[in-house]
Amino acid sequence: MIEVGDTIANCDKDSIVVDEVLTGKHGLLIRGKFTDSNNLYEGYHPSELPPCQTLNFWYGWRSRDFTTLSNGVRIGSVDISWLDPRCTIEEYDKEWERTLETIRLEQIAGDTPPMQSRPFTEQSRPDVIG
């Protein structure tokens, strides 16, 4: 579905040439470079996350949105607040598991519908808020 060398687009329609695709437990980590600036791109694409319009600061992620693949298919995407090529797919998977657990607990408590945007607080994510 996606390969090194493909051109994809972020939610702002900026073109990205894919340099690396890593498969993890919950989804894909895609790394590449923006074609207009050569700046680095890194996005995590959990398989169960539907695409949506941009939601900033979603459950500890910098944003939740979508990526458009070269065949026109949109997939859900989340971005972390740092861009570090040393960050592994396993770290992304662990962060996604924490996100799913937070969503599950909020659903049990009746606080939020599935996959909704909710800013995190020190109580919900003390490891992120400092």
Instruction: Answer yes or no: is 125 within a domain.
Output: no
Whether residue 88 has pLDDT greater than 70:
yes
Please classify residue 1 by burial: count the beta carbons closer than 10 Å to its beta carbon, then call 0-12 exposed, 13-18 middle and 19+ buried: exposed
Phi and psi torsions of 108, nearest 5°: -60, -40
- The span from the CA of 60 to the CA of 82, in Å, is 12
Residue 45, domain member (yes or no): yes
Is 76 part of a structural domain of the chain? Answer: yes
Which residues touch 48 (CB under 8 Å, ≥6 apart)?
26
> Is 17 inside any structural domain?
yes
What is the amino acid identity at position 116?
A: Q
Q: Whose structure tokens read 């996100």? A: 99
Count of the separate structural domains present in the chain: 1
Q: Answer whether residue 128 is part of any domain.
A: no
At residue 124, the pLDDT reads 46
The residues pairing with 8 across neighbouring beta strands, listed in sequence order, are 16
15 occurs within a structural domain = yes
27 lies in a domain? yes
Which pLDDT score is estimated for 77? 95
pLDDT band at 33 (very low <50, low <70, confident <90, very high): very high
Q: Is the pLDDT of residue 80 over 80?
A: no
Average pLDDT over residues 6-31: 95
Domain range for 70 is 7-109
**pLDDT at 60 > cutoff 90:** no
pLDDT at 119 exceeding the cut of 60: no
Mean pLDDT of the chain: 84
Asked if residue 119 is part of any domain, the answer here is no
